[in-house]
Amino acid sequence: MEPSGWIGQKHKLKHLMRSVHTGRIVHALLLTGPEGTGKRAAAEYLARGLVCAEADPPCGGCPACKQALAGIHPDIHVLEPERGMIRIDPVRALMNALSMRPYSAKLHVAIIDGADHMNESAQNALLKTLESPTGSVMFLLIAESASGLLPTVISRCQTLRFAPMSVQECAQTLMAQGIAPERARTLAGLAQGAPHKALRLNDDTEFAALRETVLRSIETLKSDKDVLTSANLLTQDKADPMRILDMLELWARDLMALQNGAPPFEADDVAKLQRCGIHGKRMLDAVLLARRQINANVAWTYVLENLYFSLLSHPKSTR
Ligand SMILES: [Zn+2]
């Protein structure tokens, strides 16, 4: 299964591969964009395409592709930050490796994931090689933003930007990967349209359990006397309050859209809240207030109880 967050870039990547294979070369590519938009997956795909010598690379089946997929291709080099930083020594070691002849491919592919975490001396060490391309190295620099990079580094690279998808597009991508519609929508919303982030959430069993707990907590909320018990379900959990608020905010927005006449989503979560008589706009206001309170260091128990009282303030109103 190929990761799909960068699917919109695939024709560009194929074009780049062809350019490199036919000698019209790009020496360095800078892949930028928010977390979870598939930059690393795109870089790995491109790396496979560059070491594969078959007609339509990456073929996925040749020895080079198999080595690349297993992360053991000798000519694909990956550098990542250690304790938040890429320092000069690993960059020098990489440059040294790149000065040798490639082992089995036509060129070396050097992936620097977290290139914006290179300190200045590391970037300068990289620059020496970037400035005198030999044709036997392709650099793939990955960075959330280019702002941490020296202008001289940026100017040597062709930039490829990765944007989050709309929540709807992201949900469709997730559904195409076999994720149930309501779950896909929740994941896409929480990941703000970044499919790889959504997929990570999907693999997170804690997240699935939390979603159940949050829903159950709201469902048990029938009147003021339930507030403490319902809130207790969540405050006893060690989950990050902001994560719970993210979930509640997403549902509140969906509920609001539904109550304002948007066509119903295939989202079971929202239907459940609707049946509980929750008012979307009131819920959203309460969640936004809760966020401000958390940021002001108000105790989570108090914030959540307060939020639940607001949800109940007009229990019959659904519009
Ligand atoms: Zn291949």
- Alpha carbon of 286 to those of 233, 256, 292: distances in Å? 19, 13, 10
- What is the pLDDT at residue 2? 43
Parse the chain into domains and list their residue ranges: 7-161, 204-312
Average pLDDT over residues 183-210: 82
Element (H, E) at 306: helix 300-312
> Quick one: which H or E segment has residue 160?
strand 158-161
* Per-residue pLDDT, 3: 43
Domain 204-312 = CATH 1.20.272: yes
Strand 108-113 relative to strand 76-79: parallel, antiparallel, unpaired? parallel
Cα 35 to ligand 1 centroid, rounded to whole Å: 28
Taking 50 as the threshold, does the pLDDT of residue 306 lie above it? Answer: yes
Q: Is 219 or 268 the better-scoring residue by pLDDT?
A: 219
How far apart are the CA of 156 and the centre of ligand 1, in A? 28
Average pLDDT, the chain: 85
CA-closest candidate to residue 249, choices 297, 303, 197, 285: 285
State the distance from the centre of ligand 1 to the C-alpha of 54, rounded, in angstroms.
Answer: 5
If you measure from the C-alpha of residue 198 to the centroid of ligand 1, how many angstroms do you get, rounded to a whole number?
A: 29
- Ligand 1 center from residue 2 Cα (angstroms): 15
CB of 104 within 8 A of CB of 64? yes
Same fold, 7-161 and 204-312: no
CB 106 within 8 A of CB 139: no
Helix (H) or strand (E) segment spanning residue 175: helix 167-176
What CATH architecture is 7-161? Answer: 3-Layer(aba) Sandwich (3.40)
In the structure encoding, which two tokens stand for residue 233, read together? 């379900």
Exposed, middle or buried by CB within 10 Å (0-12, 13-18, 19+), for 49? buried
Q: Which of 178, 207, 202, 209 is nearest to 188 (CA)?
A: 202
**69 Cα to the center of ligand 1, angstroms:** 10
- pLDDT at residue number 180: 86
CA distances from 105 to 29, 75, 239, 276, 309 (A): 19, 7, 47, 61, 64
CA distance 195 to 185: 11
How much is the pTM? 0.63
Q: Could you tell me the distance, in angstroms and rounded to a whole number, from the CA of residue 66 to the centre of ligand 1?
A: 7
Q: Is the pLDDT of residue 131 over 90?
A: no
Q: Roughly how many angstroms between the first and final C-alpha of the chain, as a whole number? A: 43
Q: For position 319, what pLDDT does the model report?
A: 38
pLDDT score at 1: 36
- Residue-wise pLDDT for 42-101, tens only, equals 899 999 999 998 988 899 999 999 999 999 999 999 999 998 899 999 999 999 999 999
- Condensed to tens digits (0 to 9), the pLDDT of residues 230-280 reads 888 888 877 788 889 988 988 888 888 888 877 665 567 778 888 888 888
Pick from 88, 85, 57, 86: which is nearest to 73 by CA? Answer: 57
| Length of the chain in terms of residues written | 319
CA of 52 to the centre of ligand 1 (A): 4
Q: Which are the contacts of 306, defined by CB distance < 8 A and separation ≥ 6?
A: 286, 289, 290, 293
Could you tell me the distance, in angstroms and rounded to a whole number, from the CA of residue 208 to the centre of ligand 1?
A: 37
